[in-house]
Amino acid sequence: MNPEEERFCELWGDYLEGELREANVAELRKLMDEDESLTRLAADTFQTHRLLGVVNCPNTSEAFVRETMGRLPKNSSNFVGNVMVGLDTDQLGNKADSSSWGLLLHYGGWGLAAILLIGFFIWSPVQKDTSPLRSRAEFASLAQAQFFGELTPAVASNPEFHRSYTLLSGAVELAFPDGATTIIEGPAVFRLISDERLAIDVGHCSVHAPEGAEGFQIDTPTTRVVDRGTRFFVNVSESSETEVQVVEGVADVYPEDEQDQSKLRLTDGNAQKFGNGIRMPLPFSPEAYRSNLPDRIISYEAKRSSDGRAESLTSLLVQRGGLEFRYSVNELIPVDLVSFNVGIKPNPIGHLVGGPELPEKRASLLEDFNFFTGIINPGGSELPLSSEFNPAETPGFAIHFRHPVKNRPGPDVVFFEIQSASNSSEGDAFHVSPLKWEDRLHSSTIRQYDLQVTSRAALPASKRYLFRCKNPVFSLAELEAADATATLSKLQFYVIAVGIDLSDLGYEDGDAVEGLFIQDAMDDDAQVDPVVIVGLPED
């Protein structure tokens, strides 16, 4: 049994025995979203549990199980489709000892579950396969995408037909088999009707239909927009009013609320609004059209530990200036930690994570490429810096690049932190400031990571030890000298990442930057936990 399955057994067993904490629901959901077999196993064992009369799950979590059931295909080999309907624990008799089931579940109970499942397969009639039908379209790429109630889809995965996808934030690019592409920006709700037809219920969608993709169609609550070889975008409001703007080429618009269904042909530079009795021209605004997703950190690769988790960075895939670049770890620019200030109140959790023993130079915990080492929980400020400061006195930490980082289009620095599923999935917010101030420079605040906990590209971090200092420490010098004891952290963390664009600090293209100062944004009780920070090469 691999570590993910072991953790699933532990969490799902806690749920079935009524002992799962709400803070662990997100972690359990992520495990099942990443491995469909676990979702099936969760549903099957839940039903078996109910049939045995040993369910003791809290009512507040019942919706979570219903959600799990709803994601499963009901086919001839699916126990859930036959048992879920009409099942009522009050009719199943007295409950058995839940602790006994817990032992079976953790130490071989799957065998019992399998026997019971086989019995139900024999008793149950064969059902027609009603697995979700998937399109030939693909999720080509994603940028800071967060979907309601699920992980972000995997790149190159095929969306299901007629399923409503709720994109809370970020953007996704869909590539269709005829060559058409769409970029949908959140918040949005969309559905695939066919391989040549997309429905947008609310939100913003940019469409490129090159030669050969003519006839591609966008449905909104108030219009049908048929491409005739063009670039256009639609924006659907919450009141279903639809804005259509043609950037290039021709599009035919069929207003759904007009009985004669007469089309309106829009060409380059034309814009119209439709719906709720409205049909009116709009000012042409081509800047709203998205030709590609924003520059960002797309993914990373890592050396795996013996338990299969991410141990150290090996390469990065980054979009810069609209182009994708892959960098090996040898091409990345490491940092030196030159100051660390926790502010007026040290974090009780501690500030050092690493292997079982601390290195002689503790600052090196943030200077390597390991995801299990770091100097965490720095001090911070609600307001970002706006002028010259003294790193030794200002809460936060300063890094110096071993080679200057040149400002180029897109991300120039990559910031990795470890984050548990119980904390903000978007990542802990932080301020970035110049080390050397000039009048044209300023701070920038990052509140949303490129790779978030809900991203499939965010890998589970390998195990780490947390070191607590016996006496309060406030500076890097005190961290270097403090007497600390190690405790193995059992909470599962994920390695998330965000790119820092030096242009956002006021640097001009080509400027060489020697270092940065970083502060927690102090917007909640959790502080940022950096484990790897690297500069990107010039090209």
pLDDT higher at 3 or 11: 11
Q: What is the pTM of this model?
A: 0.75
d(CA 419, CA 174): 29
Coil, helix or strand for 67? helix
- pLDDT higher than threshold 50 for residue 106: no
Higher pLDDT, 64 or 8: 8
- Tell me the pLDDT band of 471, cut-offs 50, 70 and 90: confident
Q: Which of 56-65, 106-115, 122-131, 362-371 has the lowest mean pLDDT?
A: 106-115
Report the distance separating Cα 330 and Cα 314, nearest Å: 8
Over residues 209-226, mean pLDDT = 93
Q: Is the pLDDT of residue 310 over 90?
A: yes
- Domains in the chain: ranges and CATH: 3-123 (no CATH), 138-288 (2.60.120.1440), 296-535 (no CATH)
110 close to 12: Cβ distance less than 8 angstroms: no
Q: Which two tokens stand for residue 248?
A: 């290039």
| pLDDT at residue 517 greater than cutoff 90 | yes
Give the tens place of pLDDT for each residue, 401-459. 999 999 999 999 999 999 998 888 889 999 999 999 999 999 999 999 999 999 999 99
Q: Which residues of 358-370 are buried (b: 16+ CB within 10 A; e: fewer)?
A: beeebbbbbbbbb
Does the pLDDT value for residue 15 go beyond 80? no
Comparing 288 with 31, which gets the higher pLDDT? 288
* Segment 131-151 mean pLDDT: 89
Examine the pLDDT at 75 and tell me if it is beyond 60: no
Q: For residues 359-381, give the mean pLDDT.
A: 96
CA distance linking residue 231 with residue 225, whole number of Å: 12
What does the pLDDT average to over 63-74?
A: 45
Stretch 174-194: mean pLDDT? 96
Tens of pLDDT, residues 244-289: 999 999 999 998 765 556 789 999 999 999 988 888 999 999 999 9
Q: Taking residues 378-395, what's their average pLDDT? A: 92
SS3 label, residue 471: coil
Phi/psi at 5 (5° precision): -65, -40
Strands 413-420 and 530-535: antiparallel
Contacts of 166 (CB under 8 A, 6+ apart): 147, 148, 149, 187, 188, 189
Q: How far is the C-alpha of 224 from the C-alpha of 260, rounded, in Å?
A: 14
Residue 306 predicted with pLDDT over 60: yes
CA distance 484 to 469: 4
Which of these ranges, 72-81, 133-142, 247-256, has the smallest mean pLDDT? 72-81
Q: What distance in Å separates the CA atoms of residue 441 and residue 419, rounded to the nearest whole number?
A: 30
Q: pLDDT > 90: what percent of the chain?
A: 63
Greater model confidence, 277 or 43: 277
Q: How far apart are CA 106 and CA 117, in angstroms?
A: 18
* Long-range contacts, stretch 484-488, CB < 8 angstroms, 24+ apart: 484/350, 484/352, 484/358, 486/356, 486/357, 486/358, 488/463, 488/464
Average pLDDT value for the chain: 83
